[in-house]
Amino acid sequence: MTKVRAWISAARLRTLPLSISGIIAAGAAAYAVNQFSILVFILAILTTLGFQILSNFANDYGDGVKGTDNANRVGPARALQSGLLTRKELKVGMAITVLVTLLLASMLIFAAFGMENFVLSIVFFNLGIAAVIAAITYTVGKKAYGYRAMGDLFVFIFFGIVGVMGCYFLFTESLGNFVLFPAITIGLLSTAVLNLNNMRDREADALVNKNTLAVVLGGTRVKRYHALLILAALISTLLYFLLNAYRPIQYMPLLAFVPLLLNLIKVFKVKSPVLLDPELKKVALSTFLFSILLFVVQLL
């Protein structure tokens, strides 16, 4: 494998559609109130992709250094674990990604607020710094929160609450239009993807003291927790439509929950962790589909 393919592998392209789902959902909500900006939308997507790729590089590095990625791992082999990239190369890649992402974040903030709202610009730039820190410290460092059963909380906050509501504020400078509900939905579904990943790796993680929430809850309770995430996301979506929708077509995004409910059935039936790997893609793409349908409905 060439270095280019190694970097592409480390970037984990299959995680990227999920990462921008919140931006698309926020764009749909902004479009509904005629405050959509294509420039803000594009820059928000590029910035979010930067944060996600940074997180993937850091995850590869952190788990590789700690020995979590080993022969017992169920999922795809990582770049550091496989020897495709060195520790130094990953560190350099992370540093470059931080610089590029913060540059994109600065351009996004300027496109949204211009020179008139200095205080808001500072607030959002600090949110960008916080996102960088969260992306790196998920697995890197002695106090990595991904090893302390806190990954789910951070994913919910950054993918859902900050991702959707923060982006909506960049469009509108407000938090109206019941945007909290799609933020909760995206946050819960993103957490469900992480939970599936941790369910798949639960036994291997327990052996190396990576105490994810799946390890803490155990095999039975973590499945109930997964069901709670999916069903709570469905309830949040229904509340959003009941408060915001006035035509039947606006309920079309509920179609995305069909594969999600099928995922629940699969999760409760699965005995072997390796069989959960395809379910990650199912939930991630269903979340992406949900956001796309939200946007399409507004265009229609």
CB 79 within 8 A of CB 58: no
Cα torsion 141, 142, 148, 153: sign: negative
52/248 Cα distance (integer angstroms): 35
Would you kindly state where each structural domain of the chain is located, as residue ranges? Answer: 7-299
Tokens at residue 205, please? 């993680």
Q: Is the pLDDT reported for residue 70 higher than 70?
A: no
65/251 Cα distance (integer angstroms): 46
CB 200 within 8 A of CB 74: yes
pLDDT tens digit sequence for 102-149: 999 999 999 999 888 889 999 999 999 999 999 999 989 888 898 899
**Beta partners for residue 61, in sequence order:** none
182/189 Cα distance (integer angstroms): 10
183/160 Cα distance (integer angstroms): 5
pLDDT tens digit sequence for 73-110: 565 666 777 777 888 999 999 999 999 999 999 999 99
**Which residue in this structure is represented by tokens 């069909």?**
258
DSSP 139: T
Position with higher pLDDT, 235 vs 273: 235
Cα torsion 72, 76, 77, 78: sign: negative
CB 201 within 8 A of CB 63: no
**Which residue in this structure is represented by tokens 């309770």?**
221
Q: Is the pLDDT reported for residue 30 higher than 60?
A: yes
Mean pLDDT rounded to a whole number for the chain: 91
**Percent of the chain predicted with pLDDT > 90:** 70
